Amino acid sequence: MNNEAGIDAAEAAERWLNDGRGVTLVTVMSTWGSAPRLPGSQMAVRDDGAFAGSVSAGCIEGAVIEAALTAPTCRRLAYGIADETAWSAGLTCGGRIELLVEPLAGDAAHEAVATWNALRRRGRIAVRAVEPTSGACRIIDIDAETDALAACARDAALRDRCGEISCGGQTWFLTVANPPIDLVIVGAVHIAQALVRMAAPLAYRFRIIDPRPAFATAERFPGVTLTHAYPDEAIAKAPLHARSAVVVLAHDPKIDDPALIAALNSAAFYIGALGSQKTQAARRERLKAEGFGDDDLARLHGPVGLSIGSKTPEEIAVSIIADIIKTQHRA
């Protein structure tokens, strides 16, 4: 067996299909117990047993490959993992894992994989919907489709959750492909430096916006995209979207307010602003004068971050990241 370690399963599947090989896609549907791979994790298995991706920490991969090579049609597989082998599988309390095994046969399956990968490469939010019994597959571009299944897919994407749903009398398994969080930090202050460091392991994409060149420097923010325009101008050139989180830290209305106006007029899922309760009250009055109502202002996290008694820049950064994650998952 040859494992293409670190290779995306769907990308490998498309490449192998282009080469005329037989391919089966295996997707984690659900787990019970502590699992190393979340629902939506995938493994592609080629007709000679080569594979890319992973559905566990290794203990069931051999059995999964064998099942993939012999599966004539789409089917579910469930594996119970005993306590004595749980550690090797990453299910530290023992448990069970359920998989969807899909032979990718025919032009429609090939086209669906290619469409799925094309959307992901373009940074679009896309959802792969599979009807587990029949194997029917649909790739949903949530920015372009509006029917009932697309609405369910949009909700799953915004929650960053893969799983089974019922829609229109059918059961579908949704695999969400989201681009990284677009973290837009307005105000290149010391808290912004801590925020970039703290959020780095989450693989966010960072943007720093600050019209003050002395603040937004490559020395202070190595490797981060820096923009020296005012926030409304910068955001107009690179618009916010449903995966954008905006954190306003400049503490200067001339910089903060244009950023908040642009953010409130966008689909950004998180909008936070630094400042005391007094500062927040004054800010809200200014935003009301710009025409924003109570529902609009309810989107504003101010003071920014979870209330955990944070004092230092690093602690404030932790509270902000925690609040972004909480909002992202609608926790």
Weakest mean pLDDT among 26-35, 111-120, 126-135, 217-226: 26-35
Residue 96, both tokens: 């069970």
Q: Are 308 and 137 in contact (CB under 8 A)?
A: no
Q: Which residue has the higher pLDDT, 287 or 60?
A: 287
The pLDDT of residue 1 is 44
Q: Are 49 and 29 in contact (CB under 8 A)?
A: no
Q: Which residue has the higher pLDDT, 5 or 214?
A: 214
- Which range among 94-98, 143-147, 308-312 has the greatest average pLDDT? 308-312
Cβ count near 55 (within 10 Å): 26
pLDDT at 36 over 50: yes
pLDDT tens string 91-134: 555 567 899 999 999 999 999 999 999 999 988 888 999 999 99
Query: Can you tell me the mean pLDDT for 197-219?
Result: 94
pLDDT at 187 over 80: yes
The class that CATH gives domain 182-328 is alpha beta
How do the domains of the chain map onto residue ranges?
A: 3-103, 107-177, 182-328
pLDDT at 254 over 50: yes
pLDDT at 86 over 60: no
Query: Can you tell me the mean pLDDT for 30-56?
Result: 85
Angle at 148 between CA 125 and CA 159, to 5 degrees: 40
Q: Are 120 and 157 in contact (CB under 8 A)?
A: no
Q: Of 24, 243, 41, 31, which Cα lies nearest the Cα of 113?
A: 24
Query: Can you tell me the mean pLDDT for 204-229?
Result: 95
pLDDT tens string 157-185: 888 889 999 988 899 999 998 889 999 99
Distance (Å, whole) CA 88 – CA 202: 26
Average pLDDT over the chain, rounded to an integer: 90
Q: Which residue has the higher pLDDT, 88 or 58?
A: 58
Query: Can you tell me the mean pLDDT for 272-301?
Result: 96
Q: Are 269 and 245 in contact (CB under 8 A)?
A: yes
Distance (Å, whole) CA 267 – CA 244: 8
Q: Torsion angle of alpha carbons 6, 8, 12, 14, nearest 10°?
A: -170
pLDDT tens string 231-249: 999 999 999 988 999 999 9
CA of residue 198 relative to chain centroid, distance: 18
Q: How confident is the model at residue 58 (pLDDT cuts 50, 70, 90)?
A: low
pLDDT at 85 over 80: no
